[in-house]
Amino acid sequence: MAELYPFIKKQDKEVYEALQGEEKRQKEGIELIPSENYVSKAVREANASNLTNKYSEGYPGKRYYGGQQYTDIVENIARERAKQLFDCKFANVQPHAGAPANVAMYFALLEPGDTVLGMDLSHGGHLTHGHPVTYLTKIFKFVRYKMKNVDTGEMDYDEMRAVAKKEKPKIILAGYSAYPRELDYAKFVDIAKEVGAITVMDAAHIAGLIAGKACKNPFDCGFDIITTTTHKTLRGPRGGMILTKDNEDIAKKIDKSVFPGFQGGPIMNTIAAKAVAFGEDLKPSFKKYAAQILKNAKAMEEVFHNNDIRMITGGTSNHLILADVFGSLGIPGQEAEDVLDEVGITLNKNSIADDTRKPMDPSGIRFGTPAVTTRGFKEKECRRVAELMIEAMKNKGDHKKKKAIHNEIKTLCKKFPIPDSFV
Ligand code: DSN
């Protein structure tokens, strides 16, 4: 096997050693953070390519610098593939990540003081959907909707309609980072029509499931805009993107907002990596991958269910599970995260709906199957991982047991190496 990072090795020992350590961590551990994944070597090559040397402010055909023969080709490929994946007419592939994509979208569509109706963070929403700690709340007004029933995940659409009628939001925002069910997009669209709002889905978590046809496409239900990251279930480089179904006026506003409104030069090497990843996502094998993510999450749900561990919304219909480990096992989320880290399983502590504990020391853990599915795990392996997680949490003080679990995890990882390529 070719040596990793030979130039860094020669030039910068400290960084080299950290990268080697991370290589080992990723190889030998099980990644269950639902927003993480492994990209192909082709995506990594593009991300580390010569385009890192290039400035390309503007858009293909309309740039502020010369020498854009090849950047234009790459950005156009990324845009065309993105449009094909999501069945829409316009794509802006320049946002540096999901949060900047959302900020650019707000500034494209809103005036200061305008209102956005989005999902409450405590019920699964995201910081950029208007949490008071963000600067966004100094400029726009955010109002919220929640679940009606945290044990089934049913959203409170009546309350959503009532708030929309009272507050007259310009945007009704769907999407989440810790909600394990699908939304009823048609209901969002109905309510938005009643109050004249634009519908936006922040699909950062499930974009790959939409592109792989394992989850519904909000555009099919009448949504106007999708914002997303490109590095989660889409299995691309860290980055963002904004898609517009068919309204050219909105798409033009979004382009202007991303550049020059908000960002400077696009990160062209990352855009090349997005193009390569979207090429992989268009292959038939990606549909199988997306379907398997859901099957694997269901397999883990079954084990948690059989062990009487409470899951917010009762289980999962997507790639992630939010488990109330404090309520069910008496182990706080932070401690569960630490214990599982010790046995080679990485996930994150997470607040559960209406959590009485603090965000840095919450009741829950959030985990998901995109990365292990990339590794080739099927239901059998996912069931076993879920069993080992529960065993480790129940035996958190038993070092011998934890060592045995860690050894089993390492063996499983050896059997399923991280693939170089998916095509
Ligand atoms: N950090 C991402 C996640 O883990 O869900 C969202 O911002």
Question: What is the end-to-end Cα distance of the chain in Å, rounded?
Answer: 20
- Between CA 48 and CA 260, with CA 71 as vertex, the angle to 5 degrees is 100
Is the previous residue joined to 260 through a cis bond, with omega within 30 degrees of 0?
Answer: yes
Nearest-angstrom CA–CA distance, 248 and 252: 6
What is the pLDDT, as a whole number, of residue 239? 98
CB 177 near ligand 1, within 6 Å: yes
Indicate if the pLDDT at residue 24 is higher than 70.
yes
Catalytic (active site) residue 202 = yes
Q: Which residues contact 417 (CB under 8 A, 6 or more apart)?
A: 27, 375
DSSP alpha helix (H) spans, 29-87: 41-47, 69-86
Taking only the tens place, the pLDDT of each residue in 128-139 is: 999 999 999 999
Tell me, in angstroms, the distance from the centre of ligand 1 to residue 33's CA: 9
CA distances from 383 to 173, 242, 301, 410 (A): 34, 36, 9, 16
What is the pLDDT, as a whole number, of residue 423? 83
Average pLDDT for residues 326-341, to the nearest whole number? 98
pTM: 0.97
CB 35 near ligand 1, within 6 Å: yes
Indicate if the pLDDT at residue 167 is higher than 70.
yes
Catalytic residue among 227, 229, 244, 374: 229
Taking only the tens place, the pLDDT of each residue in 43-57 is: 999 999 999 999 999
Tell me, in angstroms, the distance from the centre of ligand 1 to residue 58's CA: 28
The two most distant CA atoms of the chain are separated, in Å, by 63
DSSP characters for 226-240? EEEESSSTT---S-E
CB 37 near ligand 1, within 6 Å: no
Give the tokens for residue 284.
């038939």
What is the pLDDT, as a whole number, of residue 170? 98
Tell me, in angstroms, the distance from the centre of ligand 1 to residue 344's CA: 21
* pLDDT band at residue 407 using 50, 70 and 90 as cut-offs: very high
Indicate if the pLDDT at residue 1 is higher than 90.
no
Catalytic (active site) residue 55 = yes
- Tabulate helix, strand, coil % of the chain (nearest 5): 50, 15, 35
Tell me, in angstroms, the distance from the centre of ligand 1 to residue 35's CA: 6
34 CA closest ligand 1 atom index: 4
If you take atom 5 of ligand 1, which residue's CA is the nearest one? 177
What is the pLDDT, as a whole number, of residue 306? 98
33 CA closest ligand 1 atom index: 4
Helices 333-342 and 379-394, interaxial angle, to 10°?
110
Ligand 1 pocket, mutate which of 35, 348, 349, 365 (most atoms under 8 A from CB):
35
Helices 185-195 and 157-167, interaxial angle, to 10°?
20
Residue 159 buriedness (CB in 10 A; 0-12 / 13-18 / 19+): middle
Rounded to 10 degrees, the C-alpha dihedral 149/369/184/194 comes to: 100
DSSP characters for 143-165? EEE-EEETTTTEE-HHHHHHHHH
Pairing of the two strands 141-145 and 198-202? unpaired
> Which domains occur in the chain, in start order?
46-281 (3.40.640.10), 286-415 (3.90.1150.10)
Catalytic residue among 31, 75, 120, 202: 202
Average pLDDT for residues 345-372, to the nearest whole number? 96
Tell me, in angstroms, the distance from the centre of ligand 1 to residue 360's CA: 15
177 CA closest ligand 1 atom index: 5
Catalytic (active site) residue 134 = no
124 phi-psi bin (left φ>0, alpha ψ -120 to 50, beta other):
left
Nearest-angstrom CA–CA distance, 150 and 75: 42
Catalytic residue among 238, 295, 378, 401: 238
What is the pLDDT, as a whole number, of residue 3? 83
CB 56 near ligand 1, within 6 Å: no
Catalytic (active site) residue 229 = yes
Chain-centroid distance, C-alpha 329: 28
What is the pLDDT, as a whole number, of residue 85? 98
Pairing of the two strands 171-175 and 198-202? parallel
Task: Decide: 188 and 59 in contact? Cβ < 8 Å.
Answer: no
Task: Decide: 117 and 167 in contact? Cβ < 8 Å.
Answer: yes
What is the pLDDT, as a whole number, of residue 330? 98
128 CA closest ligand 1 atom index: 7
Percent of the chain with pLDDT over 90: 98
Task: Decide: 147 and 156 in contact? Cβ < 8 Å.
Answer: yes
Catalytic residue among 57, 167, 391, 408: 57
3 state DSSP class of 282: coil
What is the pLDDT, as a whole number, of residue 113? 98
Per-chain mean pLDDT for the chain: 97
Ligand 1 pocket, mutate which of 205, 347, 366 (most atoms under 8 A from CB):
205
Indicate if the pLDDT at residue 147 is higher than 80.
yes
Tell me, in angstroms, the distance from the centre of ligand 1 to residue 52's CA: 25
Average pLDDT for residues 290-316, to the nearest whole number? 98
36 CA closest ligand 1 atom index: 4
If you take atom 6 of ligand 1, which residue's CA is the nearest one? 177
Taking only the tens place, the pLDDT of each residue in 217-247 is: 999 999 999 999 999 999 999 999 999 999 9
Average pLDDT for residues 100-118, to the nearest whole number? 98
If you take atom 2 of ligand 1, which residue's CA is the nearest one? 35
Average pLDDT for residues 358-365, to the nearest whole number? 95
CB 128 near ligand 1, within 6 Å: no
Least confident of 2-6, 286-290, 406-410: 2-6
Indicate if the pLDDT at residue 87 is higher than 80.
yes
178 CA closest ligand 1 atom index: 5
Catalytic (active site) residue 14 = no
Q: How many CB atoms lie within 10 A of CB 75?
A: 27
If you take atom 1 of ligand 1, which residue's CA is the nearest one? 35
Give the tokens for residue 38.
């492994």
